[in-house]
Each structure stands twice: as structure tokens, then as C-alpha cells.
Amino acid sequence: MNRAASSTLLNRSIPWRQSMELLFWLLLVLINCSGNAITTWMDANRSGAPSMEWWEPWVWEFSSGLVWLLLLVPAIVWFSRRWPLHLDNWRRRLPWYLLASVPISLLHVLAMFGLRMLAYALVGERYQVGSWLDELLYEYLKDVRTYAAILFCIDGYRFLLRRLQGEAQLLAEPDEGPPVEPIDHPERLLVRKLGRDFLIATADIEWAQAAGNYVNLHLRGHDYPLRITMAALEQKLDAACFVRVHRSWLINLGHLVSIEPLEGGEALLHMADGKQVACSRRYLAALKSTLGRSKEEPAPE
């Protein structure tokens, strides 16, 4: 598949991306749990172990899979987006990732055993738990591997998306001579996409959304992640055009269509591309003030 086809396919998949991500995790859990349940049943019959009801392996596996799917995977996705691992920070953050594995495993074990006890009670049986210390240690050793595999899938997927959709970078100062344009307030950004470099104008950015250590810049139907904080980006953009409207959102006033007031003093901003952006009460007054000043400015002759 060539670069143009890859880019077109990626753009067409954007409206369905969240559904496809959910489908991926659902199929992964379904296939993994089903395979484990079948092999557990087969191994028990081959080894001549005490009789086992046919439904027991399915309860064991799917009680674990449901906890991962409904509770832990969303938590890991949020955690890894909020504090992503990079080559320049992995030594500092890796201990926190390892520490997070303890409450993740504990929650997994407690919720999993609770579901098993409920399932056994529904059929008039009792689920037996041995030594809790042994069970917690045994499950933790398995959970750490599962936790690492999930992180690998998430980071690999995000890396692939950045490669396909393009990653924005600030223009660096030249080795010799003065820069062609201001570095502190750049008029253009460099985007690397599928092995090629091209420039985008900062004035064309329609809105930006914070995503961990990145800010996703949206323009002309594309999202380009830029590794920067929202506060730093706000300082680099033209304050007359770009306004912070939320802790995680910044918009270009030229693409704002309307403001829909909400209860509690907040608002919903309708952008020209159909995007709805949340505006918190903290930033709403400043937004209206900026809009009022822009209307009072005399039109150019």
C-alpha cells in the first residue's frame, strides 16, 4: 500500500476509530478467554484431575477478562496517556508504572473473585479460595505480564498512528545565521508524515486538544500531535487569534461559529468543522471579552 493510499485509509477511518478500538479489545478478550477455557478443560481431562463442570473454566476465564476489559484497560489507557513513556523520561516514570501494577493486580483479583463467587452462587455452588496471600502473589505474577502486554499494544498503536497521521514539531534555530521566522512565536510548524517533511501554518490550526505530553493540532480534517504542554503552546500562538477555553482545549476564534450556554456557567462551543468544544466557566468570561475586543477593532481600509 503506497503512502497516499495509507493516508486516505487513515482519514476515512477517523469517524470509526473509537468503535474499532473497542472492537479490538473485545475480540482480544473473547478469543483469549475462549482459548484458555477450552485448553483448561482439555488439560483437566487429560491429566485425570478431579471432575470439573464444563462451565467452570469459562467462569474463571471470563471473570478475569471482563475485569480487564471493563475496568483495567480503560484505566491503563488513561494512565499511559496522562503520563506517557518516552526515551527521555522512561527512567523517571518506569518506577511509577511498576508501582501502578500493584493496585491494578489487587483490583483485578478482588473483582474477579467477586464475579466468580456470584457465578457459583447462581448455580448453587461455592467458589473456594485458598490462601489469599498465595493467590494474590500468583495472580500478580500473571497480571504483570498482562499489564506489560497491554501497555505494549497501546504504545505501539499510538506510535503507528503518529507515523501515519504525521507528527508536528517546532522549527529549530539554524546552525548559522538568524532564523527566517520567529522561534518564540512561529508562523509555521514542521510535520513529519510517512517519511516526508512538510510545513503547516499556525494560523490554519482550528483547535487544539491536550493529550498527555502531546497536544493534538487539528486543521483541515487532520490531527497532528505536537509534543508540548498546552500552556507552552498558548504562549507561542497569537493571542489575538487563539484563546484557551478549557484546561485541555484551545481554539482559533476564526473558526468559532457559536457559543451555547450551559448550566453552571459553562458553555459548548460550535466550531466550523462541526466539532463541539467544552468551554469551562473559568475561561468563558475571557473568551467573551476577547470576542468583544475583536468586534470593536476598525476594519482595514
Q: What is the mean pLDDT of residues 267-288?
A: 90
Beta strand extents in 16-132 (DSSP E only): none
Chain centroid, CA 209 distance in Å: 12
Name the residue with higher pLDDT: 295 or 103.
103
Do the Cβ atoms of 212 and 81 come closer than 8 Å?
yes
Band (pLDDT 50/70/90 cuts) for residue 177 is very low
Q: What is the spatial distance between Cα 45 and Cα 50, in angstroms, rounded to a whole number?
A: 9
Helix (H, G, I), strand (E, B) or coil at 176: coil
Band (pLDDT 50/70/90 cuts) for residue 297 is low
Do the Cβ atoms of 184 and 178 come closer than 8 Å?
no
The confidence score (pLDDT) of residue 134 equals 92
The confidence score (pLDDT) of residue 95 equals 94
Name the residue with higher pLDDT: 278 or 291.
278
Predicted confidence (pLDDT) at residue 189 exceeds the cutoff of 80: yes
Query: Over the chain, what is the mean pLDDT?
Result: 85
The confidence score (pLDDT) of residue 195 equals 63
The confidence score (pLDDT) of residue 13 equals 56
Band (pLDDT 50/70/90 cuts) for residue 145 is very high
Nearest alpha carbon to residue 109 among 58, 68, 57, 59: 68
Of 23-27, 109-113, 201-205, minimum mean pLDDT range:
201-205
Residue ranges and CATH numbers for the domains of the chain are 3-165 (no CATH), 203-296 (2.40.50.1020)
Q: What is the mean pLDDT of residues 220-226?
A: 85
Q: Is the dihedral of CA 7, 11, 17, 23 positive or negative?
A: negative
Q: What is the mean pLDDT of residues 121-133?
A: 91
Q: Is the pTM of this model over 0.75?
A: no
Predicted confidence (pLDDT) at residue 77 exceeds the cutoff of 70: yes
Predicted confidence (pLDDT) at residue 179 exceeds the cutoff of 90: no
**Axis-axis angle for helices 132-165, 73-82 (nearest 10):** 60
Predicted confidence (pLDDT) at residue 9 exceeds the cutoff of 70: no
